[in-house]
Amino acid sequence: MKKVLRSNFEPGTSRWATRRAQWLALGLSDADMEKPKIAVVNSSSELAICFSHLDGIAKVVKEAIKAAGGLPFEIRTVAPSDFIVSAGAVGYILSARDLIVNDMEIAVEGAQLDGMICLTSCDKTPPAHMMAAGRFNIPTIIVVCGYQPSGTYDGKHCDIEDVFLGATHKLMGKISAEQLQGMSANAIRGPGVCQGMATANTMHVVCEAIGMALPGSAPVLANSDKMFADVRQAGARIVEMVLEDLKPHSILTPGAFHNAVAAVLAVSGSINAVKHLQATAVETGLDLDVFGLFEKLSNKIPVLSAVRPNGEDTIEAFEQAGGARAIMKQLGDLLDLDAITVTGKTVRENLAGITVANEEVIRPVTRAYSYKPSIVILHGTLAPESAIIKLGTSKDKTLAITGPAVVFENGLDATEALKAGAIKKGDVIVVRGDGPKGQPGMGGSAGMVIFALDALGMSADVGLVTDGQLSGLCNKGLTVAEVSPEAAVGGPLALVENGDRIIIDVEKRQLDLDVPAEILEQRRARLGTPVLAKHKGYLSIYQKNVQPMSTGVVLIDNK
């Protein structure tokens, strides 16, 4: 029986006639218009190296779709690159994630296309593509478009992490301007996302682990023969998925989210994956507490790899060892092996016969890098809803600190205080106002504080608490991020004053403000009803509509 496509309008109707006129003028034939119509979602941009190669990938994937009997239509979205777009306002980064989803909706749902191939790259495109797949529920494959090759400087490996860290070390007087300039000139040697297990590569692993990318496709060197082979396979597979009617709601199940969370914990991935997965669950219509899932699995899933910044292994070594598929193979029965993937097969079937190429890079569960949780969700009087801390692979990382608060309204002021010697061992730095509504869009100014502490050798001796997010490259010290509710909406973080006793205890999952309740009530009365700083343009729309951290900070409440 011939598949009925939603894109094929009834002949003789107005919609059929007007669209046919448009598409005939584009050079399409009546036969073309009967084929499965596939959106090729492309965030190509000349602004950033992470997106600069996507036009070439789009060309190849369109050829593969045509060869498989489909009709590809390339659509464009905004291309948010953290190091580029944040120059105007750091809030543009996270807020762009949801803008991409809505941008896709206008083209894909407006034109009633039959399926999607999403060319996923820098940090915010992978979650945006998963969120869109969950919202639209049409056959979708996410194509991982690869990491950038790095270079060397002064005889040592050099990538964007070194430049990011080095910039703050230079500010603190620990390296020279010439050294930073040399690192910057050598860190990136081609297109693709940042090296290391930062947010982009973490989310690429997530796309495969959750079943939305082809097995064995993440991570991958950008523009490599392997990447283009995966691209062609995806182009052929998406046409089959449309004809099979295999949709995201059959893939994005609770079991699939279990697998994605397990993979993030096993690679000690970016904490940003927590909110991105929660947002995907919300957009998919699942009543699923991803924060709770991280809590549940954190003590069960060991750390099986140590890619920079968690250890000294490179992302190339991780790919060569087998990447996401090898991590999943090692996790084995700790996964939901019956979850369906874009192949139409289960995880169990996809992993059958797979071996791990290097068990020193991707270790078995019996010989893990660490059996401590790599990501921990905290609660307490300072974080009634949630807060997140990343432990990484360190077996001797500080797990608790109790000390007086030193409060700042932005990370730059905190960094200057560190430079001036105003912060002492045992203090707990508070950086607030960086939350979803306060920034708006979530800031990451605490990142420079982390690197400043590292430059001064104080990472193990000073706590840091913020309602902002952290770069996936930040993996040092006892740093608690994404405290919710945020300060800007009157969360307890807004009530903290210098000298207040703050308790961070990872083993107890505790983040407390040790101040009597009656004192806090007096402070809240003085503070009054929170008033958000006004913004213009898109950020004002985002600020008014963004939902709390418990939703993954989705822009629109779909309930």
- Do the beta carbons of residue 162 and residue 150 sit within 8 Å? no
Q: What SS3 state is found at 48? A: coil
Buried (b) or exposed (e) across 492-521, using 16+ Cβ within 10 A? Answer: bbbbbeeebebbbebeebbbbbebeeeebe
Distance CA 56, CA 235 (A): 14
Verify cis geometry, omega within 30 degrees of 0, for the bond prior to 254.
Answer: no
Q: How far is CA 526 from the centre of its chain?
A: 38
- Do the beta carbons of residue 506 and residue 389 sit within 8 Å? yes
Q: Which residues pair with 387 in a beta bridge?
A: 378
Give the CA dihedral 417, 422, 424, 426, nearest 10 degrees. -60
Distance CA 256, CA 248 (A): 11
Output the six-digit token pair for 444.
Answer: 């990451």
Verify cis geometry, omega within 30 degrees of 0, for the bond prior to 191.
Answer: no
Q: How far is CA 310 from the centre of its chain?
A: 17
Q: Which of 7, 386, 445, 471 is catalytic?
A: 471
Q: How many residues does the chain have?
A: 559
- Do the beta carbons of residue 270 and residue 202 sit within 8 Å? yes
Distance CA 315, CA 221 (A): 9
**Residue 471 falls in the annotated catalytic set:** yes
Distance CA 337, CA 476 (A): 34
CA angle (221 as vertex; 305, 78 as ends), nearest 5: 105
- In order of 113, 378, 408, the CA distances from 428 in angstroms are 52, 16, 11
Q: Which residues pair with 416 in a beta bridge?
A: none
Residue where the block lists tokens 């970016």: 270
Distance CA 480, CA 474 (A): 11
- With residue 181 as reference, give the H or E element that holds it: helix 177-186
Q: How far is CA 527 from the centre of its chain?
A: 34
Output the six-digit token pair for 402.
Answer: 């109790």
β-strands 501-505, 510-514: how paired? Answer: antiparallel
Residues with catalytic function:
471
